[in-house]
Amino acid sequence: MNTDGTGRRDPDRLIRRAGVRGDPDRDQHFLVDDRVLDRIPSYLSRETDTSHLLEIGGGTGALTDRLLALGDRVTVVERDADLAAFLREEFAEEVESGRLTVLEGDALSVELPDFSACVSNLPYGISSEIAFRLLPRGKPLVLMFQFEFAERMAADPGTSEYGRLSVGAQHYADVELVERVPREAFAPAPAVESAVVRTAPRDPEYTVADESFFFDFVKALFTQRRKTVRNAIRNTTHISGISDGSAVVEAAPEELLAKRPGSLTPGEFAALTNLAAEYR
């Protein structure tokens, strides 16, 4: 095992030993900045249960190495068969001891274990799908995304970045953008900057009778984000599935109808959703 002098595996040496090069066409950008790699696991709070850490997209194992130093057990999901084989070889001792499990397959369809927290440099092309597969599990997450995606995920109501992604993510957890990561931290460098997001799971301060309808309703109103909520409800019944938009408007509070979708809090969306559900 070649390390960087601190006992950690050197990311550039891992790439050379694996005999691979990142492929932007396959959404492969290997994180090679040691300082960023060392910081990412530290964004888990001190109270986090690290008994079983999950990593999506193990690549050549630079982050896997850091997670093994932190957690009791690690499960890494890797869709590339050659990289999955390399991880089993590179970390043969950890695999043999049962501390590391390598799952070869697509993270969108493979059966995920009952992990205690997830720390990952995600494939950016499936960021949204992965995030909303993980968030409902109610576990702490530290995830790398494209910067603009991360910014929208953590955005506050009333900002230009706030949208359906913000409402959806914040329905499940408190979301915080904790670090902006430059393109040069990766090999090959992606076309955009990246960012690390930390989520702390919690129950929302509101209730929705039908979560699926809640997300559909939020999606519908954000297609009309420059309109008032009053007009957005009336104009998007074909998306939301509401049978009588005018009836919803008649029943809704004026202070919410006069706002625009981008200024509604998740709780206000929930209140409107519960009211609108009566008119489906």
For residue 178, the one-letter residue type is: V
- In CATH, what class is 211-279? mainly alpha
The answer on whether 29 is annotated among ligand-binding residues is yes
Would you say 235 and 249 are in contact if contact means Cβ atoms under 8 Å apart? no
The answer on whether 78 is annotated among ligand-binding residues is yes
**C-alpha count within 13 angstroms, C-beta hemisphere, residue 34:** 12
What pLDDT does residue 1 have?
58
Question: What's the rounded Cα separation, in Å, for the pair 102 and 90?
Answer: 11
The answer on whether 23 is annotated among ligand-binding residues is no
The answer on whether 274 is annotated among ligand-binding residues is no
| Torsional sign, CA 136, 138, 139, 143 | positive
Superfamily of domain 11-201: Vaccinia Virus protein VP39 (3.40.50.150)
Question: What's the rounded Cα separation, in Å, for the pair 136 and 108?
Answer: 14
- What is the mean pLDDT, run by run of 10 residues, along the chain of 280 residues? 69 94 77 97 97 97 98 97 97 98 96 97 92 98 97 97 98 98 94 96 95 96 97 96 95 97 97 94
The answer on whether 53 is annotated among ligand-binding residues is no
Radius of gyration of the chain (CA): 21
What pLDDT does residue 124 have?
87
* Helix segments in the chain, DSSP class H: 11-18, 34-42, 62-70, 81-90, 92-97, 127-134, 147-153, 164-172, 211-222, 229-235, 237-240, 245-251, 254-257, 266-276
- pTM higher than 0.85, yes or no? yes
Residue written as token pair 């991360």: 150
HEC letters along 97-120: HCCEEEEECCCCCCCCCCCCEEEE
Would you say 150 and 128 are in contact if contact means Cβ atoms under 8 Å apart? no
What pLDDT does residue 16 have?
95
What pLDDT does residue 6 have?
63
Question: What's the rounded Cα separation, in Å, for the pair 232 and 248?
Answer: 11
Q: Where are the domains of the chain?
A: 11-201, 211-279
